Amino acid sequence: MEHSLVLFNDLPDEILMIILKKLWNIQVLYSLVGVNKRLNAIVHEPIFSNRLTLMKDFSAYSIDRLPDSILERFFSEILPEIHHNIKWINLESSSMKRILLATNYPNLYGLGLYD
C-alpha cells in the first residue's frame, strides 16, 4: 500500500456520512447536490436538510447574508428538491420572502428570523 490512492467516491456510505456530518449542512448541500446519484442520495438524507441556516456564520454583533450566487442556487434548485425534509429554517430578514416563496414546506414547524 505504498502508493495507495483512495478517492472520496470510493469511501463507504457510512464513512462519507461521518465526514459530511462534520461540515456545515449548507456547504454540503451546495457542493454535492446534483454531483452524482450516490452523493445526491446521501445529501438528501434528512440529517442534512431538516434544519437549515441560510445565512453566514453570525455572532451577537453581526449577521451576514449568503452571497447571491449561493442563494440563487438554493432558491431555484436545492430548496425545491429538499422541501419535504425541512423542519426548521434560520434566515435573515432580507432573504425571507424569496426563501419562503421558493417552494412549499409541508413539514416546516419553526422559523428563526435574524436581523
So what's the pLDDT on residue 5? 65
Average pLDDT of the chain?
88
So what's the pLDDT on residue 81? 93
Q: What spatial distance separates the first Cα and last Cα of the chain, rounded to whole Å?
A: 53
The pLDDT confidence band at residue 65, using thresholds 50, 70 and 90, is: confident
pLDDT higher than 70, residue 6: no
- Identify the DSSP state of 45: S
**pTM listed for this prediction:** 0.83
- Summarize the confidence of residues 52-80 as an average pLDDT: 84
So what's the pLDDT on residue 95? 86
- Summarize the confidence of residues 81-94 as an average pLDDT: 92
